Amino acid sequence: MKKLRLIIQLCFTIITNGYAYGFVSGKIYQGKLKFACVPGLNCYSCPGAVASCPVGALQALLNRQGFTVPFGMLGFFFLLGSLLGRFICGFLCPFGMVQDLLHKIPVFRKRKRLPFHSVLKYGKYAVLLILVGIGSLFLFGGFAKVPAFCKYLCPSGTLFGALPLMAANEMLRSQAGGLFWWKFAVLALLLLLSIKVYRPFCQYLCPLGAIYGWFNRFSLVQVHWKEEQCTHCGVCERACPVGLTLTEISRSPECIRCGECARACPQGCLSFRKKESESHDQSAQYHKDKAQ
CB 85 within 8 Å of CB 212: yes
Backbone angles phi, psi at 70, to 5 degrees: -75, 70
> Which range, of 43-51, 203-211, 232-240, 263-271, touches another protein by CB under 8 A?
43-51
Select 37 or 197, whichever has its Cβ closest to another protein: 37
Radius of gyration over every alpha carbon of the chain, rounded to an integer in angstroms = 20
Please work out the total of residues on this chain that contact another protein, with binding judged by CB under 8 A: 61
Residue 179 within binding range of another protein, rule CB under 8 A: yes
Task: Please select the residue that binds another protein; options are 2, 64, 238, 287, rule is CB under 8 A.
Answer: 64
Select 57 or 242, whichever has its Cβ closest to another protein: 57
Select 99 or 219, whichever has its Cβ closest to another protein: 219
Select 60 or 191, whichever has its Cβ closest to another protein: 60
Select 74 or 119, whichever has its Cβ closest to another protein: 74
State the DSSP H helix or E strand holding residue 23, giving kind and residue range, or none if neither.
Answer: helix 20-25
Query: Least distance to another protein from the beta carbon of 99, Å?
Result: 19
* Distance (Å, whole) CA 249 – CA 136: 33
Residue 74 within binding range of another protein, rule CB under 8 A: yes
* Distance (Å, whole) CA 115 – CA 129: 23
Residue 56 within binding range of another protein, rule CB under 8 A: yes
Query: Least distance to another protein from the beta carbon of 155, Å?
Result: 11
Residue 61 within binding range of another protein, rule CB under 8 A: yes
Residue 183 within binding range of another protein, rule CB under 8 A: yes
Distances (CA, A) of 72 to 62, 76, 133: 11, 6, 15
Distances (CA, A) of 168 to 46, 69, 84, 178, 197: 12, 37, 36, 20, 32
DSSP bridge partners of 225: 270
Task: Please select the residue that binds another protein; options are 40, 48, 70, 94, rule is CB under 8 A.
Answer: 70
Select 135 or 209, whichever has its Cβ closest to another protein: 135
**Three-state secondary structure readout of 167-230:** HHCHHHHHCCCHHHHHHHHHHHHHHHHHHHECCHHHHHCCHHHHHHHHHCCCCCCCCEECHHHC
C-alpha closest to that of 85 among 196, 288, 222: 222
In the range 216-245, which residues lie near another protein by CB under 8 A? Answer: 217-220
CB 99 within 8 Å of CB 205: no
Site string for another protein, 188-217 (x = CB under 8 A): ---------------------------x-x
Binding site for another protein (CB under 8 A): 27-30, 32, 34-37, 43-45, 51-53, 56-57, 60-61, 64, 68, 70-83, 146-147, 150-151, 154, 157-158, 161-162, 165-166, 172, 175-177, 179-184, 215, 217-220
